[in-house]
Amino acid sequence: MNIAVFASGRGTNFSAIVRAVKKGKIKANLSLLVCDEPKAGVIARARRAGIKVALVKREDFVSKKEFEEKIIQHLEENKIDLIVLAGFMRLLSPEFVNRYKDRILNIHPALLPSFKGTEGIKDAFDYGVKVTGVTVHFVDEEMDHGPIVLQKAVKIREDDTLQSLETRIHKIEHQIYPEAIRLFLEGRLKIEARRVKIIS
């Protein structure tokens, strides 16, 4: 199986996936990084790990359709079976999602359906919830939405700062994303009526 990670930012989840592949916890090839942001830290991480980078910038295309067609070309050239969104800050079109139906995973740093968007950790912290967490889900055409694979709760302590909470959330992300990918690759995720069943 060939995996492509899509990312726009730092790439700590990307690196966690690279480590899991190296350790044999994920038995697949991490074949491609798709990145839309030339300044993203994830690009250097991919180069260091020897993983091919497809830098596809939205502004180089007149339409979203052409932008996504370029991405699809890279995915086809690399025979990608699974797409893993790791901080990819763009909404994929319904056509794209449908083409890779049930083969796109996303991670979000909150307990969906709460605190969607680009600031999930901060929004939960600012709201004052006592429990937040991490969600891995299949992607549908809505933002941070689709059948949930794994969720892990993280308690917010009274002495937490946004930074200390972020550190704990990221640590959990780096554990559960490789785990969700492993379950997918082992064929153990079954979607039934929008629910994901994990086959043991």
Give the active site residues.
Answer: 108
Query: CB neighbours of 43 closer than 8 A, spacing ≥ 6?
Result: 11, 33, 35, 53, 55
36 or 173: CB nearest ligand GAR: 173
87 or 178: CB nearest ligand GAR: 87
Near ligand GAR in 162-191, by CB under 6 A: 173
69 or 91: CB nearest ligand GAR: 91
**Does the N-terminal peptide bond of residue 113 adopt cis geometry, omega within 30 degrees of 0?**
yes
Nearest approach, Cβ of residue 102 and ligand GAR (Å): 19
Exposure b/e, 95-110, CB count within 10 A at least 16 = b: ebbeebebebbbbbbb
43 or 196: CB nearest ligand GAR: 43
* Tokens, residue 191: 């979607």
Of 134, 120, 147, 118, nearest to 174 by C-alpha is 134
Q: Which of 109, 133, 146, 178 binds ligand GAR (CB under 6 A)?
A: 109
Please tell me whether residue 165 adopts helix, strand or coil conformation. Answer: helix
Q: For ligand GAR, which stretch binds (CB under 6 A), given 6-14, 28-36, 64-72, 153-161?
A: 6-14
Q: The tokens 């997918």 sit on which residue?
A: 184
Q: Which of 5, 7, 33, 124 binds ligand GAR (CB under 6 A)?
A: 7
Near ligand GAR in 74-93, by CB under 6 A: 86-87
Q: What are phi and psi of 191, to 5 degrees?
A: -95, 120
Q: Is 146 in the site for ligand GAR (CB under 6 A)?
A: no
Helices (H), 58-114: 64-77, 94-99
Nearest approach, Cβ of residue 55 and ligand GAR (Å): 15
Nearest approach, Cβ of residue 92 and ligand GAR (Å): 12
The site for ligand GAR (CB under 6 A) is made up of 7, 9-14, 86-87, 107-109, 118, 120, 144, 173
